C-alpha cells in the first residue's frame, strides 16, 4: 500500500533521514521504533506532505505522492495524527471532529463516521459540547485520533499516541488502535513505548540517526539483543 524508497530529508544543512526505505501492506499495523531525534516524526511528516524529500520516492497505492501538498495527500487517503495532538482548543469536540471531514462532501457518510468515532471513543460523546481545551491529555489524544478518522483514511499515521498518558490510558489507546485496524484501516505507528507497539504490530522497523538499521516481525525484534538493550528495557 505504501512504499518509501531511499528517501533523504534535510532540515537546512542537517540530514534527518538517510536513504530510508520501508513498505506497508494493506491491513497491517507497522511500527517505527527508535530514540528521540532518530527521524521517526520526520518520516511521518514526509509521507504526509509536510516535508519534502530531497531524493527518493514515496508511492501510495502505486502512485507517487512525493512532494505533493498535504491536503492532496489527505484527499488520496492518508491521515496524520501529529505528535502533541494539535487539537483546536477553543472549538468544541464535535467541531474538531467535523473539521477532520472538511474535504468530504458526503453528508450521510460524515454523520455515520461521527457516530463510529463516538462508538470508538465514548468519552468524546459524553463531552461533545465541551471546548477541546478543557479535555484531559488522554481525551485530547482520542480527539486527535477521531478527527483523523473523520477524513476516512485508508492509511493512518500515528505519532506518539501514548506520550504523556497514564499507563491505564495507554492500554485503552492501544486497544482502540487495534479496533481501528480491524475495521480495515492500515496503520503506521511511531511510538516510544516499544513494548506496547510491538505487542500489536505485524512488523516493525528500527530507526537510528536517520537510518533504518533493523526490520522484522515483533518476535524477531523481541529476540534481538540490540533491540532489547536499546528499547525494551532488557539486557
CB distance 202 to 31 below 8 Å:
no
- Compute how many other C-beta atoms are within 10 angstroms of the C-beta atom of residue 216: 15
Per-residue pLDDT of the chain (235 residues; tens, 9 = 90+): 999 999 999 999 999 999 999 999 999 999 999 988 899 999 999 999 999 999 999 999 999 999 999 999 999 999 999 887 788 989 999 999 999 998 888 999 899 999 999 999 999 999 999 999 999 888 999 999 999 999 999 999 999 998 888 888 889 899 999 999 998 999 999 998 888 999 999 999 999 999 999 999 999 998 888 787 777 765 4
Kindly state whether residue 115 falls inside one of the protein's structural domains. Answer: no
Grid coordinates standing for 102?
472538511
Could you give the number of structural domains in the chain? 1
CATH code at position 66:
3.40.50.300
Tell me which residue of 7, 141, 22, 24 sits closest to 85, measured CA to CA: 141
How much is the CA Rg of the chain, to the nearest whole Å?
17
Kindly state whether residue 160 falls inside one of the protein's structural domains. Answer: yes
CB distance 81 to 148 below 8 Å:
yes
pTM score: 0.91
- Compute how many other C-beta atoms are within 10 angstroms of the C-beta atom of residue 57: 14
Kindly state whether residue 101 falls inside one of the protein's structural domains. Answer: no
Kindly state whether residue 53 falls inside one of the protein's structural domains. Answer: yes
Which domain, by its residues, includes 80? Answer: 2-86+152-231
Kindly state whether residue 107 falls inside one of the protein's structural domains. Answer: no
H or E element in which residue 23 lies: strand 14-24
DSSP 48-71: TTSS--SEEEEEETTEE-TT--HH
Amino acid at each position: 500500500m505504501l512504499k518509501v524508497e531511499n528517501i533523504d530529508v534535510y532540515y537546512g544543512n542537517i540530514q534527518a533521514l538517510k536513504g530510508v526505505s520501508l513498505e506497508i501492506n494493506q491491513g497491517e499495523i507497522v511500527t517505527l521504533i527508535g530514540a528521540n531525534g532518530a527521524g521517526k516524526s520526520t518520516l511521518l511528516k514526509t509521507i504526509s506532505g509536510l516535508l519534502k524529500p530531497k531524493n527518493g520516492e514515496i508511492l501510495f497505492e502505486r502512485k507517487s505522492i512525493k512532494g505533493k501538498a498535504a491536503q492532496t495527500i489527505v484527499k488520496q487517503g492518508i491521515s496524520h495524527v501529529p505528535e502533541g495532538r494539535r487539537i483546536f482548543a477553543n472549538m468544541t469536540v464535535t467541531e474538531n471532529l467535523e473539521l477532520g471531514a472538511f474535504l468530504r462532501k458526503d453528508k450521510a457518510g460524515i454523520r455515520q463516521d461521527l457516530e463510529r468515532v463516538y462508538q470508538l471513543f465514548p468519552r468524546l460523546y459524553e463531552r461533545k459540547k465541551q471546548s477541546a481545551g478543557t479535555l484531559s491529555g488522554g481525551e485530547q489524544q482520542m480527539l486527535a485520533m477521531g478527527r483523523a478518522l473523520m477524513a476516512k483514511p485508508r492509511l493512518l499515521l500515528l505519532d506518539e499516541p501514548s506520550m504523556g498518558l497514564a499507563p491505564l490510558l495507554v492500554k485503552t489507546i492501544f486497544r482502540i488502535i487495534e479496533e481501528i485496524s480491524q475495521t480495515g484501516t492500515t496503520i503506521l505507528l511511531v511510538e516510544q513505548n516499544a513494548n506496547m507497539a510491538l505487542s500489536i504490530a505485524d512488523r516493525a522497523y528500527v530507526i537510528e540517526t536517520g537510518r533504518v538499521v533493523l526490520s522484522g516481525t515483533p518476535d524477531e525484534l523481541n529476540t534481538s539483543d540490540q533491540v532489547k538493550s536499546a528499547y525494551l528495557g532488557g539486557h
